[in-house]
Structure 1
Amino acid sequence: MALQEIGIKSKRYDLQSFGFKNSIINWNLDSTVLTEKTIELNQGVLNDTGALCVNTGKFTGRSPKDKFIVKDSITENTVDWGDVNIPISYDTYSSLKSKMIASLEGTEIWGRNCYAGADPLYKLNVTVINTTPWANLFCGNLFINPSNKELEEFEKGWLILQIPTFEAVPEIDGTRSPNFTIVNFTEKVILIGGTAYTGEMKKGIFSVLNFILPHEHQVLPMHCSANEGREGDVSLFFGLSGTGKTTLSADATRSLIGDDEHGWAEKSIFNFEGGCYAKAIDLSAEKEPEIYGAIRPGALLENIAFFPNTNSVNFADKSITENTRVAYPISYIPNAKVPSIGNTPKNIFFLTCDAFGILPPISKLTKQQAMYHFISGYTAKVAGTEIGVKEPQTTFSACFGRVFLPLHPTKYAELLGEKLEKHPEVNVWLINTGWTGGKYGEGKRMSLKYTRAMINAAIHGELDNVNYIADPIFGVLKPETCPNVPTEVLKPRSTWSDGEAYDRQALALAQLFVNNFKQYEDQASKEILSAAPKTSI
């Protein structure tokens, strides 16, 4: 049979020239149709609020060790090759692409023309081809959907080809495992095979933007959430898992620009996405009412379990995975800002869960310190977060998203420094949402009430004219007072019963920072290196 194309498609994008033939392609279907088709194919069911529930199979998370970048004239001398960015040859990529396209002959597939980047100056056109309707629904929720007129004028950009049932043969196809993700910057193609986990598509485009935007446009891509106050003041929240990024950026008095991926351009902060991909484990209407309320028709729930004999979700059930997720359009959040664009940020918050109880609950960073801590991306795992973790373990992830950075981390830090140099009015804060009064097991977790009070004080300018003292080891500036926060809480050493024990632990943590930073020293400027903590006093 000839290639059949159904739905509203771009008149300018020709998949036949790419090699597709003898298939039925359903273009740009809405969430209702995609949901109905998923149920018809027995690939998902509805929960009691009307959201579509699916299981992604073997993979319930990303597989970073199976992600490759084609090494060619564009990437050879620009990509930071290593354990994060693993090279693969063009021949290997080309062979797999041909096999994947051939596997689609005679099948029904789902296509979508969409884009990433809410700022029109930097938007990236993306065409997605999926073999399941619910994966296409995910893309409709997470990327930005053009209008019908924009669809007719849609220009060829990047292509994502996702075929979960297509598995590579490693000894023949040159991959590490049967599953793989391959990014080709020359052909502008992402191949995803052997995994149905939808996050691979979302983060694949994020990695592409992390290469293109700083390299070609001097736009800083950021793994952060962003919100905006009534006066147009924007705040950014960076943080690894468990630091409170989602919780602290959710504020009913401020508009949500986005919850995960943004760009800092010359005149804007803009969301890369058109939706949210929120963790659903232990979700409740009391703790996160906005996310809970977004679980309705059109939303996609992944890898959840129901209470017995019901279609009511048991959000505490981890039997499939702790990484249960819900994907929904950003318009499902009542205070979302659409289009998702804001002004240059006024405040930037680096969130860390310091399980050693050393870092201040809030401190102000100089430009040099901001660059240093941005590269460091510090937090700590505690007992219970992973199998085998019995005591606090430091975790460093450059730029709060190392696995998504095609360029060397110092490139992003230098660009951050340039932004801060150009906008000296921007405040950068380090927020410790971890322990106080001692390390994990001895002290206690920082009060969320106090953390919120400190962030609100920073946002409202109530820390602009207070006295600061420099931390003797980390050099960060600690406010001596903060509205609605006891003074002693602001001084971590005074919360410990043994001050000398605090000093020893502080020096030990400083040494961990220094040890981690050795991998970046050869490309880091003297300006960045000057912000390293002291390892002796």
Structure 2
Amino acid sequence: MSTVSFDSALNHLLEQRQAEFDLPVPRLVERALARDEGVLTKAGAFAATTGAYTGRSPKDKFIVAEPSTRETIDWGTVNQSVDRDVFSALYRKVLHYLGQQDSLFVFHGYAGKDKDYRLPLKVVNEYAWHNFFARQLFVRPEADEHPAEEDGFTIVSAPGFKADPQVDGTRSETFVHISFEEKIILIGGTEYAGEMKKSIFSVMNYLLPAREVLPMHCSANTGKEGDVALFFGLSGTGKTTLSADPNRFLIGDDEHGWSENGIFNIEGGCYAKCIQLSEEKEPDIYNAIRFGAVLENVVIDDKTRLPDYDDTYYTENTRAAYPLEHIDNTLPQGKAGHPDTIIFLTADAFGVLPPISKLTKEQAMYHFLSGYTSKLAGTERGITEPEATFSSCFGAPFLPRHASVYAEMLGEKIDAHNSSVFLVNTGWAGGDYNVSDRIDLAHTRAMVQAALEGELNRVETVVDPVFGLHVPTRCPGVPDHVLQQRETWNDLEEYEQKAKELANKFHSNFERFTNVPAHIRHAGPN
């Protein structure tokens, strides 16, 4: 099936089925309610459940093996390959299935706020609420804009179509196939809307480096004077909490590009976790969940229509999707200058990493490649106590290219723009998670603020003997002894043991980066 026949077959289907194009939010909500796809909450948010799949299905994600990408994809357990013939046959089956549905929904938009680097998108959905989700998460065109379909990617999502692994060559009934030559993402067998968001992020992670743009899994904000900060961190590290600063403007909370123009948001919305959400702890997110927002797998009271954010009946991975304009303190244009400060967040359950440390460029590349944190209880099924985890570039599941490509780009940009990089530990102090408490959030906020204001660039540092990190001796609003982890422990011998244990985990993880230069490998723990 050629590119022309892929496109023409889909366009013929959309004409034949009289698909509904680019419906406004009220109309999409009406259609979703009429089709019994969900309910409205008391605040007006649309709430849906996703059945058996309440999160991504990484083992069912495949990239089509094609000549143009054979040498540039980092093939392996993350980037699994699927034969082109398997993809083509499955595509035809999905189109036939969609042709039997009573209605289809199409959204045209973009990935990327910077017009120099944005990717046109066409999203074709079986469900109205999925199209609603796509409209709020991706970048919506301005009134006079018409995304050029031939230059962009198309998502075809058919949750009701279940693959037969024996016949269709899939791993299970669920499939997420990405074809870079055909510019198609084919999704089936799962109702989890997040597959669309993350598939486009994977696409951008492949396309942007070829244009000398670094794609990043991070949040970003800017100060009133125009200074820009990036926050990298895996789930549970405090990325959303620390980047949502009332004194700064949010550029975006999850996906960004760093081009010669500066930072730009890849998305037009936010996709926030809702577990244990409260107005007191996260007022911005709580108040953003109103009409125009989508809730996934949140328990809704039948009588009051109030969400119960503490109830994990469906999953702990409850989510809210809403447009950025639902947050008051945002930067509407979604782009800003080059970052002055870059912060890597980690929640160290060993309790041995310093609360904050300044990194050299080589250390920044090392810790970017490592992407360390402790996976916390509740973040994934089966995790009952914290355990060390490493995710390259703080987003390994979404990196089609080798991680070193992104790390090298980061190093070049740090050099070019003289960005300061800090490693901030939001985990434990005075002992490991069994015997101590997490670092005081007020202290962490004070450290981050001092880093953003440049104060930590002017204070004396000491080198941590195990991790080689440059630890400030002073920070406004933080007692001096808090900055030095070993001074918070009662048992120094146990501290040394735990520090060496974590250092060995760093070394073991980094053994897979055989093509990384020695000066980067040696920037890790001693």
**TM-score interval for Structure 1 and Structure 2 normalised by the shorter chain:** over 0.9
Residue 322 in structure 1 maps to residue 319 in structure 2: no
- Aligned pair partner of 1:454 in 447, 450, 453: 447
Which residue pairs with 1:439 in the alignment?
Answer: 432
How high is the TM-score relative to the length of structure 2?
0.96
- Cα distance in 2 for partners of 1:15, 1:427 equals 51
Task: Tell me if structure 2 keeps the 8 A contact 1:382–1:440.
Answer: no
- Offset at residue 155 of structure 1 (A): 5.0
For residues 193-231 of structure 1, the C-alpha deviation after alignment (integer angstroms, 9 at most, x for no partner) is: 0011110000000000000101x2111100000000001
Per the alignment, do residues 388 and 278 of structure 1 end up closer, same or farther by CA in structure 2, a change over 3 Å counting?
Answer: closer
- Aligned pair partner of 1:76 in 59, 70, 79: 70
Paired AA for residue 57 in structure 2: S
| SS of the residue 2:104 aligns to | strand
| SS of the residue 1:528 aligns to | helix
- Offset at residue 506 of structure 1 (A): 0.7
- Offset at residue 393 of structure 1 (A): 1.3
Task: Tell me if structure 1 keeps the 8 A contact 2:50–2:297.
Answer: yes
Residues 424-435 of structure 1 aligned to structure 2 (within 5 Å): 424=418, 426-435=419-428
Residue 164 in structure 1 maps to residue 159 in structure 2: yes
- Cα distance in 2 for partners of 1:300, 1:180 equals 23
- Offset at residue 264 of structure 1 (A): 0.6
Which residue pairs with 1:141 in the alignment?
Answer: 136
How high is the TM-score relative to the length of structure 1?
0.94
- Cα distance in 2 for partners of 1:389, 1:156 equals 42
- Cα distance in 2 for partners of 1:153, 1:284 equals 41
Paired AA for residue 86 in structure 1: Q
For residues 468-524 of structure 1, the C-alpha deviation after alignment (integer angstroms, 9 at most, x for no partner) is: 01111111100000000000000000100011211111111100000011111x221
Paired AA for residue 160 in structure 2: T
| SS of the residue 2:340 aligns to | strand
| SS of the residue 2:281 aligns to | coil
Which residue pairs with 1:185 in the alignment?
Answer: 180
Paired AA for residue 448 in structure 2: I
- Cα distance in 2 for partners of 1:53, 1:126 equals 25
- Cα distance in 1 for partners of 2:392, 2:398 equals 10
Paired AA for residue 120 in structure 1: K
- Cα distance in 2 for partners of 1:104, 1:443 equals 55
- Aligned pair partner of 2:474 in 481, 489, 510: 481
- Cα distance in 2 for partners of 1:388, 1:114 equals 38
Percent identity of the aligned residues?
51
Which residue pairs with 2:3 in the alignment?
Answer: none
Which residue pairs with 1:124 in the alignment?
Answer: 119
Residues 335-374 of structure 1 aligned to structure 2 (within 5 Å): 335-374=329-368
Residue 502 in structure 1 maps to residue 517 in structure 2: no
- Offset at residue 381 of structure 1 (A): 2.5
- Offset at residue 309 of structure 1 (A): 2.7
| SS of the residue 1:431 aligns to | strand
Residue 282 in structure 1 maps to residue 242 in structure 2: no
Task: Tell me if structure 2 keeps the 8 A contact 1:67–1:181.
Answer: yes
Which residue pairs with 2:33 in the alignment?
Answer: 39
- Offset at residue 105 of structure 1 (A): 1.8
Per the alignment, do residues 338 and 59 of structure 1 end up closer, same or farther by CA in structure 2, a change over 3 Å counting?
Answer: same
- Offset at residue 151 of structure 1 (A): 2.2
Q: RMSD across aligned C-alpha pairs, in angstroms?
A: 1.5
Task: Tell me if structure 2 keeps the 8 A contact 1:97–1:191.
Answer: yes
Which residue pairs with 1:3 in the alignment?
Answer: none
- Aligned pair partner of 2:523 in 504, 510, 531: 531
Per the alignment, do residues 507 and 177 of structure 1 end up closer, same or farther by CA in structure 2, a change over 3 Å counting?
Answer: same
Paired AA for residue 49 in structure 1: A
Residues 58-457 of structure 1 aligned to structure 2 (within 5 Å): 58-107=52-101, 108-151=103-146, 155-214=150-209, 216-307=210-301, 309-383=303-377, 385-386=379-380, 388-424=382-418, 426-457=419-450
Task: Tell me if structure 1 keeps the 8 A contact 2:141–2:147.
Answer: no
Paired AA for residue 206 in structure 1: F
For residues 111-158 of structure 1, the C-alpha deviation after alignment (integer angstroms, 9 at most, x for no partner) is: 011000001110000100001110000000001111232127665411
Give aligned pairs, total. 519
For residues 167-209 of structure 1, the C-alpha deviation after alignment (integer angstroms, 9 at most, x for no partner) is: 1110111110000000000000000000111100000000000
- Cα distance in 1 for partners of 2:156, 2:268 equals 20
Task: Tell me if structure 1 keeps the 8 A contact 2:345–2:424.
Answer: yes
Task: Tell me if structure 2 keeps the 8 A contact 1:31–1:298.
Answer: yes
- Cα distance in 2 for partners of 1:136, 1:20 equals 15
